[in-house]
């Protein structure tokens, strides 16, 4: 087992250690050695060392699985196994995933590639892998019981098909799905077009991630798999803000973001400062005449969306799910509303019994973001993330698109906070405040009582009867 960083280093030095030429005939008849990644960082794009060239994607807080060429077949090795995933600094989850991580690595191939995927099951129960959205022989579709026998613990199965259709796909088990997806078994798949495609533009940056959700009680490590809707951690690639990396791009870059949803609800994904087009789904590229500008696109359960825009506005632009409960972390969901409640008297009485008692929320919940209250082990505050102007008061499905003139082509490193040009930041008014002039008008619309004097109302009631219908007034 080698880390991907070592692997990439070796590949760079040898100029393609994963190419078929570097693997002996004996080795080629064996399984490809699985590559394991345990770091939760966004790894640099994996530039293909063999096969047709393409512009690789960047998986947010993830990585792409290296392959080897074996007689013209791209061979991958996925290992389904329990993993420890850092969801944000200070919080680790005991999940199931592939090759050391949840989600598993992104698989990138080119339209027309013959692909062979070895799947080794190191889980305590059987599994299978379904290749969501792919055209393939029915027996390769990965539905346990329906199209294949389940992969028992300790066994390895082989899937083989031609990646016939370019686009945005994902993979996940089709065996004890409720458990295995709630535990984090999923991964991204991108099939690049083999040539210029009329509906698939070349882009400068191509990001991808999966929407997923967990129910992990503060202080514990393992998701509650029976939860149907009331999850407390809303994540992108099993990371929660402030643990989600920013999307760092160069001013003027054409950017594509691919998103897949394997949660139990829909997520309206919203980008600030730019309009985008939905250019494709897991069903393929969207016809040009069916694209219109949006700033939010809803990604329903089991759907994928790819959005594209030119990053032509410098700054730190929020990028998030627009369901406000999905930009909060654990502990924020089942708290009673206290706005306007003056419970100073009550608090005094309770404090005499419980000295650490705190009053929360009577001025809104923003105090929570800055509160330094002791948290149980292994959780993160419900909303947090320090920005240059204070707490961002966000959690969960939130990140930042950083657009910079100075970002070098191909450089994905995280720049400092945006330096706003003078006079372009919202500022405090320090002049005199005039008394607001409140309108004394009662309004003139239909429903205002002045316009509807009660005594002038006359109603004709018509009762449903078989013969004549008039029943007075």
Cβ proximity to Cu ion: between 189 and 234 the closer is 234
Interface segment toward Cu ion; rule CB under 5 A; list 17-25, 175-183, 320-328, 362-370:
320-328
Interface segment toward Cu ion; rule CB under 5 A; list 9-17, 150-158, 325-333, 412-420:
325-333
**Cβ 183 to Cu ion shortest distance, Å:** 20
Cβ proximity to Cu ion: between 246 and 261 the closer is 261
Number of chain positions touching Cu ion (CB under 5 A): 4
Cβ proximity to Cu ion: between 43 and 257 the closer is 257
Given 92, 116, 291, 323, the residue binding Cu ion (CB under 5 A): 323
Pick from 57, 61, 54: nearest CA to 306: 57
**Cβ 267 to Cu ion shortest distance, Å:** 3
Pick from 80, 64, 115: nearest CA to 186: 80
Given 274, 326, 402, 404, the residue binding Cu ion (CB under 5 A): 326
Residues 78-101 as b or e (16 or more Cβ within 10 Å = b): bbbbebebbbbeebebbbbbbbbb
CA distance 463 to 390: 65
Site for Cu ion in 417-446 (CB under 5 A): none
At residue 247's C-alpha, the angle toward residues 286 and 237, to 5°, is: 75
Given 4, 256, 267, 402, the residue binding Cu ion (CB under 5 A): 267
Pick from 247, 239, 243, 108: nearest CA to 184: 239
Interface segment toward Cu ion; rule CB under 5 A; list 132-140, 177-185, 263-271, 415-423:
263-271
Cβ proximity to Cu ion: between 257 and 321 the closer is 321
List, as one string, the DSSP characters of 86-155.
EEETTEEEEEEEETTBSS--BEEEETT-EEEEEEEE-SSS-B--EEET----GGGS--BTTTB--B-TT-
**Cβ 274 to Cu ion shortest distance, Å:** 20
Cβ proximity to Cu ion: between 50 and 261 the closer is 261
Cβ proximity to Cu ion: between 176 and 215 the closer is 215
Q: Are 282 and 132 in contact, with CB atoms under 8 Å apart?
A: yes
CA 128 to chain centre: 23
- Asked if 321 is part of the footprint of Cu ion (rule: CB under 5 A), the reply reads yes
Interface segment toward Cu ion; rule CB under 5 A; list 111-119, 148-156, 318-326, 444-452:
318-326
CA distances from 11 to 17, 52, 210, 399 (A): 5, 17, 28, 32
The footprint of Cu ion (CB under 5 A) covers: 267, 321, 323, 326
């Amino acid at each position: 087992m080698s880390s991907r960083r070592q692997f990439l280093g070796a590949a760079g030095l040898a100029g393609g250690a994963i190419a078929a030429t570097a693997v002996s005939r004996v080795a080629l008849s064996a399984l490809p050695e699985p590559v394991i990644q345990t770091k939760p960082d966004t790894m640099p794009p994996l530039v293909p060392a063999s096969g047709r060239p393409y512009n690789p994607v960047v998986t947010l807080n993830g990585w792409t699985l290296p392959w080897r060429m074996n007689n013209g077949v791209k061979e991958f090795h996925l290992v389904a196994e329990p993993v420890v995933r850092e969801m944000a600094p200070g919080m680790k989850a005991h999940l199931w995933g592939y090759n050391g991580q949840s989600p598993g690595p992104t698989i990138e191939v080119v339209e027309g590639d013959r692909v062979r995927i070895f799947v080794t099951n190191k889980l305590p129960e059987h599994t299978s892998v379904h290749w969501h959205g792919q055209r393939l022989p029915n027996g390769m579709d990965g539905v346990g019981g329906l199209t294949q026998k389940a992969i028992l613990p300790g066994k390895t199965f082989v899937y083989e098909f031609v990646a016939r259709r370019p686009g945005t796909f994902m993979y996940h088990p089709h065996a004890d799905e409720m458990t295995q997806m709630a535990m984090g078994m999923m991964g991204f798949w991108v099939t690049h077009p083999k040539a210029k495609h009329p509906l698939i533009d070349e882009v400068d940056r191509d990001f991808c991630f999966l929407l997923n959700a967990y129910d992990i009680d503060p202080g514990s490590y393992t998701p509650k798999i029976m939860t149907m809707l009331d999850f407390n951690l809303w994540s992108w690639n099993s990371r929660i803000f402030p643990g989600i990396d920013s999307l760092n791009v160069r001013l003027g870059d054409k950017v594509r973001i691919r998103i897949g949803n394997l949660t139990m609800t829909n997520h309206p994904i919203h980008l600030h400062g730019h309009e985008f087009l939905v250019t494709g789904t897991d069903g393929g590229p969207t016809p040009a005449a069916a694209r219109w500008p949006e700033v939010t696109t809803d990604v329903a359960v089991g759907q994928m969306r790819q959005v594209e825009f030119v990053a032509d506005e410098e700054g730190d632009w929020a990028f998030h799910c627009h369901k406000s409960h999905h930009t909060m972390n654990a502990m924020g969901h089942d708290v009673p509303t206290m706005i306007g409640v003056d419970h100073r008297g009550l608090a005094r009485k309770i404090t005499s019994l419980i000295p650490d008692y705190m009053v929360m929320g009577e001025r809104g919940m923003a105090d929570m973001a800055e509160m330094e209250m002791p948290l149980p082990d292994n959780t993160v505050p419900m909303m947090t993330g320090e920005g240059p102007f204070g707490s961002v008061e966000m959690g969960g499905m939130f990140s930042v698109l950083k657009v910079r003139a100075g970002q070098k082509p191909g450089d994905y490193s995280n720049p400092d906070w945006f330096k706003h040009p003078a006079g372009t930041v919202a500022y405090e008014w320090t002049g005199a405040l005039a008394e607001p002039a409140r309108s004394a008008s009662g309004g003139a619309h239909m429903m205002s009582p002045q316009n509807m004097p009660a005594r002038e109302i006359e109603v004709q009631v018509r009762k449903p009867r078989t013969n004549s219908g008039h029943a007075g007034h």
